């Protein structure tokens, strides 16, 4: 096994993600990695997939942060979820012909596209891979459900705290946390679009979280000073992310 570090190489975010999604063989892992050689660079704030389109390939996020969103008739935006490296951000189009939401890059992103024909071939012959993708869809749905609960029943302070916990745990799971710190490239406008709040109120809520000594957020770096406190504030329980136990 290749290792390019002092400790055993834990693998790229994609490999890490697949590892907790399903117990795949080395051959299956290699097959997927070979399928993902065609990479594309996407600028920040550009769409990766658009609502109403009918993609002919699946998209995997290799580097950078992205988001799913709906556009409303009046031009407002609802961000549905944030997506991180290792996420199969568009297995959607493999199963449903038309996109019902858009995907956009928050930071510059590197994505890999795999033609549907190739994916269909792979999933048909490797039921464990198909199962892994289905499982990822299920976990995504679980994340959506938590967001529903946040928007329906949690106040601004709780929503922001919960989102920070979620982002931290998900990034940590793919090896993108440095201690208690993670990249946080999302602007306050993006947070507000994700949590159904106004920018002004997000700003005040962030200040409240800082004042409470739970976090610092400087230069797009989120540092969690008090994990227990933040999780408590957000009513966060990581079990819905299904990171443990296959």
User: Any contact of residue 139 with a copy of itself (CB under 8 A)?
Assistant: yes
Binding-site size for DNA (CB under 7 A) equals 18
In the range 33-62, which residues lie near a copy of itself by CB under 8 A?
Answer: none
- How far, in Å, CA of 13 to CA of 203, rounded? 31
Beta bridge partners of 57: 115
- How far, in Å, CA of 60 to CA of 45, rounded? 17
- Which range in 62-70, 92-100, 111-119, 199-207 contacts DNA by CB under 7 A? 199-207
Q: Which of 73, 179, 219, 228 binds a copy of itself (CB under 8 A)?
A: 73
Name the minimum Å distance from CB 133 to a copy of itself: 8
Q: Which of 124, 189, 198, 213 binds a copy of itself (CB under 8 A)?
A: 124
Location of structure tokens 């306050």: 188
Q: Is 196 within 8 Å of 78 (Cβ atoms)?
A: yes
Give the 3-state secondary structure of residue 198: coil
CB atoms under 10 Å from CB of 182, counted, come to: 21
User: Any contact of residue 203 with DNA (CB under 7 A)?
Assistant: yes
Q: Which C-beta is closer to DNA: that of 189 or that of 246?
A: 189
Sequence-separated (6 or more) residues with CB below 8 Å from residue 100:
51
Name the minimum Å distance from CB 76 to a copy of itself: 6
Name the minimum Å distance from CB 156 to a copy of itself: 12
**For residue 219, is it left (φ>0), alpha (ψ between -120 and 50) or beta?**
left
Binding-site size for a copy of itself (CB under 8 A) equals 47
Largest CA distance in the chain: 54
| Cα atoms in the 13 Å half-sphere on the side-chain side of 188 | 14
What is the pattern of x (binds DNA, CB under 7 A) and - over residues 121-160? ----------------------------------xxx---
What is the contact surface with a copy of itself in residues (CB under 8 A)?
Answer: 68, 70, 72-73, 76, 78, 80, 92, 95-98, 100-101, 123-124, 127, 130-131, 133-135, 137-142, 144-149, 151-153, 193-196, 235, 239-240, 242, 245-246
């Amino acid at each position: 096994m290749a290792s390019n570090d002092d400790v055993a190489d834990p693998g790229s975010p994609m490999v890490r993600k697949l590892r907790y999604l399903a117990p795949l063989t080395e051959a299956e892992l290699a097959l997927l990695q070979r399928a993902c050689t065609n990479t594309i660079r996407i600028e920040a704030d550009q769409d990766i997939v658009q609502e109403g389109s009918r993609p002919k390939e699946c998209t995997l996020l290799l580097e950078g942060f992205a988001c799913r969103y709906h556009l409303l008739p009046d031009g407002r935006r609802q961000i549905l979820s944030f997506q991180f490296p290792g996420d199969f951000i568009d297995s959607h189009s493999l199963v449903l012909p038309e996109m019902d939401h858009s995907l956009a890059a928050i930071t510059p992103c590197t994505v890999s596209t795999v033609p549907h024909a190739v994916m269909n071939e792979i999933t048909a012959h490797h039921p464990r891979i198909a199962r892994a993708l289905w499982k990822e869809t299920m976990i995504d749905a679980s994340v959506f459900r938590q967001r529903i609960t946040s928007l329906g029943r949690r106040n601004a302070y709780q929503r922001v705290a919960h989102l920070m916990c979620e982002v931290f745990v998900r990034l940590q799971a793919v090896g993108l946390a440095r201690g208690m710190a993670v990249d946080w490239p999302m602007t306050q406008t993006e947070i507000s679009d994700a949590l159904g709040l106004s920018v002004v109120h997000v700003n005040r809520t962030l200040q409240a979280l800082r004042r409470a000594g739970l976090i610092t957020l400087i230069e797009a770096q989120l540092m969690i000073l008090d994990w227990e406190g933040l999780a408590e504030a957000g009513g966060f329980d990581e079990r819905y992310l299904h990171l443990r136990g296959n």
